[in-house]
Amino acid sequence: MREFAIDLARRAGALLAEYHQRAVAGHDFSTKSSPVDLLTAADVASDALITEAIHAAFPEHSIYSEESATGPLPAAEWLWVIDPLDGTSNFAHRVPFFGVNIALAHYGMPVLGVTYDPLSEQLFWAEQGHGAWLRQNGRERPIHVSTIAELSRSLLATGFPADRRTNPDNNLAEFNALERRSHGVRRQGSAALELAWVAAGFIEAFWHPRLKPWDAAAGWLLVQEAGGCVTEYDGRPWRLDSPTMVASNGQPGVHEAILETIAAARKAIF
């Protein structure tokens, strides 16, 4: 299943890269839940490629993929949780930063996760109990979270929910506080790739409100298997349907400090 998922992520990534070459910036999209929740033809094509391949290979498995899912997260023994294009806003504007996210959950727990950046050709994968790995240029190496132990020396990443224009609970207070307590906060526009960066030790932590299971399932396993820690804002262990996420290198001076900063920022506002 691992090589199947890796091959599928690469095929979907190649399709996205092809669409990206042809795209005209800012013209080729419609909107979904809000004016900043974009949909392109590439999202739909990648969704079809991935879901058809899984149906053909594992007809008894269930699929929860962003562009074809209807309803809430299904309870299933084997569930593929897919984001066929993570970073659609980048993609629609021709920013070269987006990815494919494929996870397989067993009774609700991700056991396999693949995150692929088709432009850098960095492929991150993790399997429960087998560590987290980066394949690039025909080579593969294990990845580990960083060892930086203080928030003040950490580089972070985050993103903002699709209802940010109308909902005051939009992560700006948390961003304001954490930008000033860290080396800075990156906001690249792909939660999937930002989580893979935590696993690879490129950055120390990532936080985000109201992520969807397809944004976070593969990254949760990558960070766990790379030695990090993933919780909700209140410190409870993260689950597929959790409303909030903090993923870090697991150092208390980073993880706990982020939880405390988020709590203080939210208390001041809500």
Best CA proximity match to 252, nearest among 233, 234, 236, 228: 228
Nearer to ligand IPD, 98 or 125 (CB): 98
- Do residues 259 and 246 lie in contact, with contact meaning Cβ atoms separated by under 8 Å? yes
Nearer to Ca ion, 83 or 174 (CB): 83
The CB-of-263 to Ca ion minimum distance in angstroms stands at: 26
Q: How far apart are CA 215 and CA 231, in angstroms?
A: 15
Burial of 164 (0-12, 13-18, 19+ CB in 10 A): middle
The CB-of-142 to ligand IPD minimum distance in angstroms stands at: 25
Q: Could you say which of ligand IPD, Ca ion, none residue 213 binds, taking C-beta under 5 to 8 angstroms by partner kind?
A: none
Give Cα separations from 150 to 158, 205, 253, 255, 263 (angstroms): 18, 11, 5, 9, 18
Size of the site for Ca ion (CB under 5 A): 5
The CB-of-215 to Ca ion minimum distance in angstroms stands at: 4
Q: How far apart are CA 44 and CA 100, in angstroms?
A: 13
Residues that bind ligand IPD (CB under 6 A): 83, 86-88, 159-162, 189-191, 215
Best CA proximity match to 222, nearest among 69, 66, 113: 113
Q: How far apart are CA 20 and CA 17, in angstroms?
A: 5
The CB-of-49 to ligand IPD minimum distance in angstroms stands at: 16
The CB-of-62 to ligand IPD minimum distance in angstroms stands at: 20
117 makes contact with Ca ion (CB under 5 A): no
Q: Could you say which of Ca ion, ligand IPD, none residue 159 binds, taking C-beta under 5 to 8 angstroms by partner kind?
A: ligand IPD
Which position among 215, 228, 233, 262 is part of the footprint of Ca ion (CB under 5 A)? 215
Nearest residue to ligand IPD by CB is: 159
66 makes contact with Ca ion (CB under 5 A): yes
Q: Could you say which of Ca ion, ligand IPD, none residue 160 binds, taking C-beta under 5 to 8 angstroms by partner kind?
A: ligand IPD
Indicate the angle between helix axes 2-22 and 41-57, nearest 10 degrees. 160
- Do residues 192 and 215 lie in contact, with contact meaning Cβ atoms separated by under 8 Å? yes
Q: Could you say which of Ca ion, ligand IPD, none residue 87 binds, taking C-beta under 5 to 8 angstroms by partner kind?
A: ligand IPD
Give me the residues that bind Ca ion (CB under 5 A), please: 66, 83, 85-86, 215
